[in-house]
């Protein structure tokens, strides 16, 4: 009894991501997306539960692009690192979508695969229950927060870096010496910064792992 669907979810996801990549988050509009798909605005509502649903769809699309060499028998540290890097890579491939990923909760199975893998790897460090949850929040919060801070924090590396660093130089040097000093260090590549951060994090996970204590 159904009529054939004109589009697939993947088509919507691809079109939405293209819009976001090209025109920024404000470019993602029901109307714009519909136009890009060659249909009317209301058609989108047959595939998605309003604007919020669309945002969840985009989040899923990004998270689903996280791929890593899966080796369940390897060391948990190596695996946590691999998964974290994979998520970070996926997120960073669509910087304009980051606010969405931080904000829109997706319970899509695709989006939960990396989450489950991260939990599993952390569990292999001997954690469970509340300890496991804390460790998970540290890693996932770090990834999301790091990716976003790199774009809109006070210490920036990307585009606009000069403008912002210049405005930081206008701050009273007596009150903000470290900020002014560190602003110049933010010119390196984000990949290296992420690795340094992840290293600190893994050191902490290792030092406080139950596996280690017993």
Partner DNA sequence: AGTTAAACACGTACCTTGTACGTAATCAAG
Partner DNA sequence: CTTGATTACGTACAAGGTACGTGTTTAACT
161-177 b/e with 16+ CB inside 10 Å = b?
eeebbeebeeeeeeeee
The site that binds DNA (CB under 7 A) totals a number of residues, namely 24
**Min dist. Cβ of residue 7 to its own copies (A):** 25
Among 8, 10, 24, 31, binds DNA (CB under 7 A): 31
With CB under 5 to 8 Å by kind, the binding choice for 138 among its own copies, DNA, none is its own copies
Site membership for its own copies, residue 154 (CB under 8 A): yes
With CB under 5 to 8 Å by kind, the binding choice for 26 among its own copies, DNA, none is DNA
Site membership for its own copies, residue 109 (CB under 8 A): yes
**Min dist. Cβ of residue 94 to DNA (A):** 18
Cα(3)–Cα(139) distance, integer angstroms: 44
Cα(49)–Cα(205) distance, integer angstroms: 39
- 47 or 176, CB closer to DNA? 47
SS3 string of 32-54? HHHHHHCCCHHHHHHCCCHHHHH
**Min dist. Cβ of residue 154 to DNA (A):** 23
Residues 8-27 that bind DNA (CB under 7 A): 26
Residues 110-129 that bind its own copies (CB under 8 A): 112-113, 115-116, 119-120, 123, 128-129
Site membership for DNA, residue 39 (CB under 7 A): yes
Site membership for DNA, residue 40 (CB under 7 A): yes
Phi, psi at residue 117, to the nearest 5°?
A: -65, -40
- 37 or 81, CB closer to its own copies? 81
CB 185 within 8 A of CB 168: no
Alpha-carbon dihedral sign for residues 120, 202, 67, 108 = positive
């Amino acid at each position: 009894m159904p009529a054939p669907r004109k589009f697939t979810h993947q088509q919507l996801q691809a079109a939405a991501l293209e819009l976001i990549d090209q025109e920024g988050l404000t470019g993602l509009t029901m109307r714009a997306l519909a136009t890009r798909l060659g249909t009317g605005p209301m058609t989108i509502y047959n595939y998605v539960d309003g604007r919020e649903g669309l945002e969840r769809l985009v989040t899923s699309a990004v998270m689903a692009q996280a791929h890593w060499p899966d080796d369940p028998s390897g060391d948990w540290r190596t695996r946590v690192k691999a998964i974290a890097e994979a998520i970070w890579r996926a997120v960073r491939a669509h910087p304009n979508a980051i606010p969405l990923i931080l904000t829109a909760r997706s319970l899509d199975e695709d989006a939960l695969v990396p989450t489950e893998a991260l939990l599993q790897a952390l569990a292999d460090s001997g954690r469970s229950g509340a300890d496991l949850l804390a460790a998970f929040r540290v890693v996932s919060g770090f990834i999301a927060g790091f990716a976003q801070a790199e774009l809109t924090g006070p210490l920036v590396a990307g585009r606009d870096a000069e403008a912002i660093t210049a405005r930081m130089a206008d701050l009273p040097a007596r009150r903000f010496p470290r900020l002014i000093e560190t602003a110049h260090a933010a010119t390196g590549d984000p990949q290296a910064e992420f690795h340094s951060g992840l290293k600190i994090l893994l050191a902490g996970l290792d030092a406080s792992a139950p596996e280690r204590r017993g």
